[in-house]
Structure 1
């Protein structure tokens, strides 16, 4: 059996390692256009900020490790054409510019995603960078050494983490986003308001509700970012506008969402027999709505890649869907979210209610305790939990993983009030704050 894998980051690495273990007789060939594999892109801001000193720690596999499993990894090889019906592909060696043909019995698509790059006037000026892979991170670090004024465009997770890292390294930082709130896909206003004040208190300039219209420069280098509301001087610009699936190879061959995300079933099968997809290249069932959605997260990718291998010969283990659970640490605040926000649920036309509690994480008789804010979103009629958000200086983020399981299992907010949680004064109160939220939902 010949297994071809296109792309080798989170989903690809998981699929390859598991397939090699499960099918030791298979001939597995991996095609990767980059000069490295398995880079943890979620660690870019930590690397840029100097928290991670050794970049090698951000890689969890290598061609050498895969070779030990009998896998042939062709680095700097770009797949330029695929015929999913006749099971052939054409590959270009980026070192020699030579093309080669190959065939497969099973194809695993783990091509991932690529940053959205709008063709804004002046976008080709030097010092306007993307933030996605290892080479990007090295370029950002090198360019940031001389930069004094850095503009980050895009107030999602990566953008927020980068502005914090730059500010902590003594840079003058501006964050621009076309929406009027940061992290608006993940958090409701009561959380983003507090987070925005935290950023501003640390000297970060927020330019929200405005769109970049052009970049200006001198001698080929960017010097200014112009928006619909103002102008901002910049020595360095990082674009973090979002991601799109890297699936152009398969347009017209596989069923996709409008944004190009490949639609897979619960066993990671595409619309074409013997062709599987996983990770940022595809869409999966989003449990809060029960519909397919594009949720590019490393956690989803690793799970999906593992399931591809398990289901390659026959459907064995179904994917349970995702809640899109994620977390971020901004200065001393720990933030986590799962499922729908109240805002996103309402935008979808859902009839939801919410309960928000502000508690202490431990009994007040303890020497120290911290505030915690928890918001739970649930359907008004069924009372099924569809989302939650949490913020605290104490690291209570694992509690959001608990609510993620509640959403996956279609639990109601009333049931949350009586879930069995332990009590120990070092860690919590007799009524865990998750219970409290469930009890207060009326």
Structure 2
């Protein structure tokens, strides 16, 4: 069996390693257009901010490690075309310019995603940078050295983390987003507002509710960002607008979402026989709504890559879906979320209720007992858990992993009230704050029969 893999991303590395272990007699050939593999892009802000000193720690595999597994890794090789009917690949060696044809029995597509680049006047000016891969991170670090003012466009996770990193490095920073608040896809206003307050306290300029219209430059370098509400003088611009799937190779050959994300079934099989896909190039099953959506996350990618290997020859292990669970640390704030926010639920026209608790996570008689804010969203009719968010100075983010499991297993807010959690004063209270959220949401009991003493 000959297995071809296009792209050595998070999903690709996971699929390759597991495939090599499960099918030791298979011939596995990997094509990667870059000169490195398995870069943890979620660590870019830590690298840019100087928290991570050695960037090599952000790589968790290498061509040498794959070679040791018997995998043929062809770096700097670009796939020009895929013929899924004839099971053929057209390949170009980017170093020599040579083109050749290859074949496969099973194809694994893990081509990942690429940053969205808007078609705006001045977009090609120098010092307008993307933030995705290792080369991008090195360019950002080098360019930022001489920059006094840096503008970040896009207030998602990557943009917000970069803003913090630049400010901590002593830069003047402006954050632009067309939404009227940051992290609006992940958090409700009472959570994102706390981070915005911290940014303002640090002197970060928040240009929210503004849309970038163009860039202007001096001597070929960006000098101004023009928005629909004014202009921002700057030395460096980082675009963090979002990502789109890299799937042009399979366009018209497999089913896709409108944005180009490949649709896969629960066994990572595309609509074309013997073609599998995983990671940021794919759609995922979003458990809170039951819909197929595009949610590019490293956690989704490594799970899907592992499942590709397990289901490549025989359907053995189905995908359980995702809640889009994620976490973030900005200054003293430890934040995590899973599933639907209240705002997202309303956008989906789901009738929901939400309960928010403000509590100390452990007894107040302890030397410290930081406050925690927890919000839980649940279906008004079925009372099924749909989402949750937490923020605290103490690191309580693992509680969101617990709620992710609850959502995945379709538990109700009433069941959450009485789930068995341990009590130890170092860690929590007799009623864990997760229990407290459930207890607060319990409906009153109607007693129709008078009680007699």
Is the TM value for this pair above 0.5? Answer: yes
1:220 positional shift: 0.2
Partner of 1:137: 137
Alignment root-mean-square deviation, CA: 0.5
Q: After TM superposition, what 4+ stretches of structure 1 lie above 6 angstroms from structure 2? A: none
SS of the aligned residue for 1:12 comes to helix
Query: Is residue 136 of structure 2 the alignment partner of residue 150 of structure 1?
Result: no
Query: Is residue 379 of structure 2 the alignment partner of residue 362 of structure 1?
Result: no
1:3 positional shift: 0.3
1:291 positional shift: 1.0
Partner of 2:31: 31
1:82-120 per-residue CA deviation (whole Å, 9 max, x = no partner) reads 011110010111111111100000000000000000111
Query: Is residue 373 of structure 2 the alignment partner of residue 373 of structure 1?
Result: yes
Partner of 2:97: 97
SS of the aligned residue for 2:283 comes to strand
1:372-430 per-residue CA deviation (whole Å, 9 max, x = no partner) reads 00000000000000000000000000000000000000000000000000000000000
Structure 2: distance between partners of 1:203 and 1:43: 24
1:195 positional shift: 1.3
1:322-376 per-residue CA deviation (whole Å, 9 max, x = no partner) reads 0000000000100000000000010111100000000101101111110100000
Partner of 1:50: 50
1:192 positional shift: 1.2
1:228 positional shift: 0.5
Query: Is residue 164 of structure 2 the alignment partner of residue 175 of structure 1?
Result: no
Q: Report the structure number with the largest CA radius of gyration.
A: 2
Runs (5+) with no aligned partner, structure 2: 444-453
Partner of 1:393: 393
1:193 positional shift: 1.3
TM-score, normalised to structure 1, is 1.00
Partner of 1:229: 229
Partner of 1:7: 7
Map 1:39-438 → 2, pairs under 5 A:
39-438=39-438
1:298-332 per-residue CA deviation (whole Å, 9 max, x = no partner) reads 00000000000000001000010000000000001
1:43-98 per-residue CA deviation (whole Å, 9 max, x = no partner) reads 00000000000000000000000000000000000101001111001011111111
Structure 1: distance between partners of 2:360 and 2:102: 60
TM-score, normalised to structure 2, is 0.97
SS of the aligned residue for 1:263 comes to coil
Runs (5+) with no aligned partner, structure 1: none
Structure 2: distance between partners of 1:29 and 1:161: 36
Structure 1: distance between partners of 2:145 and 2:193: 31
| Number of residue pairs aligned between Structure 1 and Structure 2 | 442
Structure 2: distance between partners of 1:121 and 1:55: 34
Structure 2: distance between partners of 1:12 and 1:79: 15
Structure 2: distance between partners of 1:204 and 1:163: 8
